[in-house]
Chain A
Amino acid sequence: MINLNANVNSALPTADLNSIGTSKAGSTDNQKTDFADTVKQVGKYISKVDDLQQSSNISIKDLLAGKNEDITSVVSAMAKADISFKLLVGVRNKLIEAYKQTMNMPL
């Protein structure tokens, strides 16, 4: 059976679902998460996205230095780094937008 359930966490690199309990679709337990928690959780992802960026950087450097002649591995590393970074930027923009909207709320 192919599970077609929405699972946002697995889109990010090496998502370990237990340590990062963000809002999983369908499993909204009574646990409350405040805004600071969400920001912290995104912070955890940043290092993982950075790992992918670093490895793509290293593979480009190796290619240019002649240590590695496999272009496809560079393409692969680049594609992964690109996808995960775009997702991170998307999430970041959404978070900041939410923060701004909250701050501009008339009291």
Chain B
Amino acid sequence: MEISNTFGPVDVAISGLRAQDKNIEIISSNVANAQTTDNGKGEPYRRLEAIFKTDSDGIGGVNIDEITADMSELPRILKPGHPDADEQGYVTMPNVNLPIEMMNLNMASRLYQANAAVLKRYQKMVETTLELLR
């Protein structure tokens, strides 16, 4: 294993940026569909979650392995007259919890910043090394 792959850290940081990019897309889908009672198949929206996986054994970038649906219980609220209500007047709502989504959004955006910071700092480090040439 060699340590002197100059572009290694660049690729790893970029993969982190990409992963969090997708993660934020998933979170925004959850927030946008926080009250979607019909996902097109007559069922309420289920919140989605990204599952991350390393690119390779040991040092390597990150990948999104799969995007799974959260199978936790769907809350039911009384809303008679709603087109999607059942006989008792209850509507099954999505299992999106806004405070949790906000927390995940904060985490995703911080992680994005962290990956960008790694990339920036690495470029500075290479510049420092090249200063030695002068």
List residues of A whose CB falls within 8 A of some B CB.
1-4, 6-7, 10-13, 70, 72-73, 75-76, 79-80, 82-84, 86-87, 90-91, 93-94
**8 A Cβ contacts from B1-50 to A:** 1-7, 10-11, 14, 17-18, 21
CB contact under 8 A between A83 and B1, given known A10-B6, A76-B14: no
Structural contact, B2 and A93, CB atoms closer than 8 A: no
Out of B7, B10, B133, name the residue touching A94 (CB < 8 Å): B133
Structural contact, A75 and B14, CB atoms closer than 8 A: yes
Out of B2, B126, B130, name the residue touching A10 (CB < 8 Å): B2
Structural contact, A72 and B133, CB atoms closer than 8 A: no
Structural contact, B4 and A72, CB atoms closer than 8 A: no
Structural contact, B18 and A72, CB atoms closer than 8 A: yes
Give the Cβ gap from B131 to chain A, nearest Cβ, in Å: 9
Smallest Cβ-Cβ distance to A1: which chain B residue: B1
Structural contact, B1 and A75, CB atoms closer than 8 A: no
**8 A Cβ contacts from B102-134 to A:** 119, 123, 126-127, 130, 133-134
